[in-house]
Structure 1
Amino acid sequence: MKLDMHAVLVQPLLTEKLTSIRETTNTVGFIVHPDANRVQIKQAVETLLKVKVARVNVMNVLGKVKRLGRFSGKRSDWKKAFVTLQKGEKLEMYESA
């Protein structure tokens, strides 16, 4: 499926765990489009953020089942990507956060 590069990256993922991973292994996290693959994610990060990517790991996260009284619902599933940058590369948007 052909996706627009701006549609591939939904938003950056900022958690305490990813902050420690970013500082030690130069890896950043993104919430990505559910239909995006590794190649599309790599191309989107390299062109939009102007950094060199060493590797991309992708994980599908299943939504939790939640209840409110007798009613049951499910949060939506989503996909996250861990992007490892090459040596010497860093993203400026994470430096100020």
Structure 2
Amino acid sequence: MSELHEILVAPHITEETMKNMVNKRNDVHKYVFKVAKTATKTEIKDAIEKRFNVKVDSVNTLINRGKMKRVRMGMVSGKKSNWKKAYITLKAGQKIAEFEGV
């Protein structure tokens, strides 16, 4: 997995992630991304640093389990696929300009 677009799937922007994005006390920014399930923490860190030109302090990952879904009034059931989420903490004073004002 050497390509950036293969590792970083999309930013995960919700009300909760936007609320926790900036720590006002020590000027630390935290971002959340959907990433490839096979990506490691070091690959994610390198991809973020190359793509956004920032310094990453830490990377925490988790796998969200897919939910069971029912279609057509409960007659047909299926499962959504699992996906991986990465919490990226930048070094103090660093921020990603694309997410300012979102």
The TM tier, using the shorter chain, reads over 0.9
**Which structure carries more helix by proportion?**
1
CA RMSD of aligned residues (A): 1.0
State the 4+ residue runs in structure 1 displaced beyond 4 angstroms. Answer: none
Query: How does the TM-score come out when normalised to structure 2?
Result: 0.89
1:78 corresponds to: 83
Name the CA distance, whole Å, in 1 between partners of 2:7 and 2:101: 23
1:41 corresponds to: 44
Give the conservation status (yes or no) of the 8 Å contact 1:61–1:77: yes
Name the CA distance, whole Å, in 2 between partners of 1:49 and 1:91: 6
Flag structure 2 segments of 5+ consecutive residues without an equivalent: none
Structure (1 or 2) with the larger CA radius of gyration: 2
Q: Determine if the alignment matches structure 1 residue 31 to structure 2 residue 30.
A: no
Give the conservation status (yes or no) of the 8 Å contact 1:3–1:36: no
Query: How does the TM-score come out when normalised to structure 1?
Result: 0.93
State how many pairs are aligned: 96
Flag structure 1 segments of 5+ consecutive residues without an equivalent: none
What secondary structure is seen at the aligned counterpart in 2 of 1:89?
coil
